[in-house]
Amino acid sequence: MVKEHATFVIVGGGLAGARAAQTLRSEGFTGRVILIGDERDQPYERPPLSKGFLTGAAERETLHVHAHSWYANHDVELHLGQAVTHLDRAAKTVRLGDGTVIRYDKLLLTTGAEPRRLDVPGTGLAGVYHLRRIAHAELLRGVLANLGRENGRLLIAGAGWIGLEVAAAARHYGAEVTVVEPQPTPLHGVVGPELGAFFADLHREHGVRFHFGTRLTEIVGQDGMVFSAVTADGEEHPAHAVLAALGAAPRTALAEAAGLALATPEQGGGILVDSTLRTSDADVYAAGDVANAEHPLLGRHLRTEHWANAHDGGPAAARAMLGRNVRYDRVPYFFSDQYDLGMEYSGHAAPGTYDQVVCRGDIAKRVFVAFWLRGDRVLAGMNVNVWDVADDIQDLVRRGVRVDPERLADPDVPLSSAAVD
């Protein structure tokens, strides 16, 4: 039973934290809700930062999770532009950077992740960028527009989702783009070589140059500005700007200093939580990018850095904090927009975990659905420019039913009829 005068504190002012605060109120919690964020902006959604906001199709005010007045209207106390510098689990307090100490009854950590940094000579030159926050995106939007006007060159280190989406945005502005990636294809660790090659072809058709099988070793400057970039194979690539798109690292320093259990790097890092999103401390929960959760459906711990996990994980953690019966077992889901391609991916199928990829539709026309199978069961599915099928794909993943690969590949067979038992 949660007392009416209890104080619930949320550390992290992103989507997961904002959704958790919203859920606490919608579930009838009448105690204090305090949301602390180290950015000065009210909680906002990050996917547009590398998509519509970066291309200029979306404006800043459209990114916010709630209207400006929502927090005051729902008695959610905001502490923005404030980092939490210390968590005292014994005293059940957090201390802010300005020295303020706040006591909690329940605590939710939604501290998110931060961009992995390039560790090569030349990163201090003007023209080296990362993308994680609104301020980064606003700066990068101006840079890309300027590169486009002046036939400038952007080099992107990393061919993951952020790297590819920024490449598409840069080509939208007319900038020249080179992507350096150690793996043999883009998105190698997510969609494998079979579909990684598909994304490479998509970007090549739009003028992006790839340099696979190597990594950035140095950024060369001239007059304090980026001039070129050197890769491990000795090649030098002309560049006026460099984007580090090397993935993100979970922000676990606060949890680690407080002695909470963490996942190992081999497990994906992050704060270890159970299927209710509770940490090793019964009064502390974690959700979003920073949480490495026991996944009942997959039978393993998993840390997921995608919008849906923050969108769904924040409310799940809030309900668990209220003592509700929670079992966080959502099928992992994410989406991407690149040029005229829109896609959704549901499930989890890392390279080495699946036996085959089955496709239905027309890959050449970029209208298809791909399925990753282990044996005769669907681990994951990706729909490309095909809509209203994500629920059916998630159902196949969730149920773990046997499927007939031939029926799965036949566009005339409804997905609901692909199962054989």
pLDDT tens digits, one per residue of 324-366? 999 999 999 999 999 999 999 999 998 889 999 999 999 999 9
Is 330 a domain residue? no
Q: Which of 265, 291, 322 is the last residue of a domain?
A: 322
Average pLDDT of span 86-91: 98
pLDDT tens digits, one per residue of 42-76? 999 999 999 999 999 999 999 999 999 999 999 99
pLDDT tens digits, one per residue of 378-391? 999 999 999 999 99
pLDDT tens digits, one per residue of 110-121? 999 999 999 999
Give the pLDDT band (50/70/90) at residue 222.
very high
Is 331 a domain residue? no
Give the pLDDT band (50/70/90) at residue 421.
low
Residues 255 and 398 occupy one common structural domain: no
Residues 240 and 267 occupy one common structural domain: no
pLDDT of residue 295: 93
Kindly report the CATH number assigned to the domain that includes residue 298.
3.50.50.60
Residues 241 and 270 occupy one common structural domain: no
pLDDT tens digits, one per residue of 157-215? 999 999 999 999 999 999 999 999 999 999 999 999 989 999 999 999 999 999 999 99
pLDDT of 33 > 90? The answer is yes
Residues 19 and 131 occupy one common structural domain: no
Give the pLDDT band (50/70/90) at residue 374.
very high
Is 27 a domain residue? yes
Tell me what the pLDDT averaged over the chain comes to: 96
Kindly report the CATH number assigned to the domain that includes residue 378.
3.30.390.30
Share of the chain above pLDDT 70, in %: 99
Residues 100 and 41 occupy one common structural domain: yes
Residues 240 and 278 occupy one common structural domain: no
Three state DSSP letters for the chain: CCCCCCEEEEECCCHHHHHHHHHHHHCCCCCEEEEEECCCCCCECCHHHHCHHHHCCCCHHHHECCCCCHHHHCCEEEEECCCEEEEECCCCEEEECCCCEEECCEEEECCCEEECCCCCCCCCCECEECCCCHHHHHHHHHHHHHHHHCCCEEEEECCCHHHHHHHHHHHHHCCEEEEEECCCCCCHHHHHHHHHHHHHHHHHHCCCEEEECCCEEEEEEECCEEEEEEECCCCEEECCEEEECCCEEECCHHHHHCCCCECCHHHCCCEEECCCCECCCCCEEECHHHEEEEECCCCEEECCCCHHHHHHHHHHHHHHHCCCCCCCCCCCEEEEEECCEEEEEEECCCCCCCCEEEEEEECCCCEEEEEEEECCEEEEEEEECCCCCHHHHHHHHHHCCEECHHHHHCCCCCHHHCECC
Residues 317 and 172 occupy one common structural domain: no
Residues 272 and 365 occupy one common structural domain: no
Residues 264 and 164 occupy one common structural domain: no
pLDDT of 2 > 70? The answer is no
Q: Which of 322, 349, 381 is the last residue of a domain?
A: 322
Residues 60 and 11 occupy one common structural domain: yes
Residues 284 and 305 occupy one common structural domain: yes
Domain that holds residue 267: 7-114+249-322
Give the pLDDT band (50/70/90) at residue 37.
very high
Share of the chain above pLDDT 90, in %: 95
Is 168 a domain residue? yes
Is 378 a domain residue? yes
Number of domains in the chain: 3
Is 88 a domain residue? yes
Is 328 a domain residue? no
pLDDT of 135 > 70? The answer is yes
pLDDT of residue 3: 63
Residues 344 and 379 occupy one common structural domain: yes
Is 206 a domain residue? yes
Q: Which of 257, 288, 322 is the last residue of a domain?
A: 322
pLDDT of residue 419: 85
pLDDT of residue 396: 96
pLDDT of residue 299: 87
